Amino acid sequence: MPEPDPLPPREAAVLRALEQAGGRVLSRADLARAAGLVGLSPRRVDGVLVALRRRLPPGRLLTVRGRGWALRPPDGRR
């Protein structure tokens, strides 16, 4: 089985921030700060999340409307 492609740096930084949040919801601004994307357009975080969602198993990256995003543990617990 081939190795999965490594994550680009921005995706890896956002994933790390979500993992370190331990299931807590992070806003766009929180993610930008934690992932070092502060100098970019706020919508750039959205683009990184879209790309990250494509790489993760379905349901792993949760969108909490009006609040932000959270990462569900790999075993599916909430």
Q: Give the domain CATH number at 34.
A: 1.10.10.10
- Rounded CA-CA distance 60/56 in Å is 6
Per-residue model confidence (pLDDT) at position 5: 75
pLDDT of residue 75: 72
Task: Indicate whether 3 belongs to any domain.
Answer: no
Provide the domain limits for residue 40.
Answer: 9-71
Phi, psi of 26 (to 5 degrees): -115, 135
29 within some domain: yes
- Averaged pLDDT score across all residues of the chain: 90
Q: How many CB atoms are located within 10 Å of the residue 17 CB?
A: 20
Share of the chain above pLDDT 70, in %: 91
Q: How far apart are CA 70 and CA 19, in angstroms?
A: 9
**Confidence category of residue 58, pLDDT binned at 50, 70, 90:** very high
Domain count, the chain: 1
For 59, half-sphere exposure in the C-beta direction (CA atoms, 13 angstrom radius) is 6
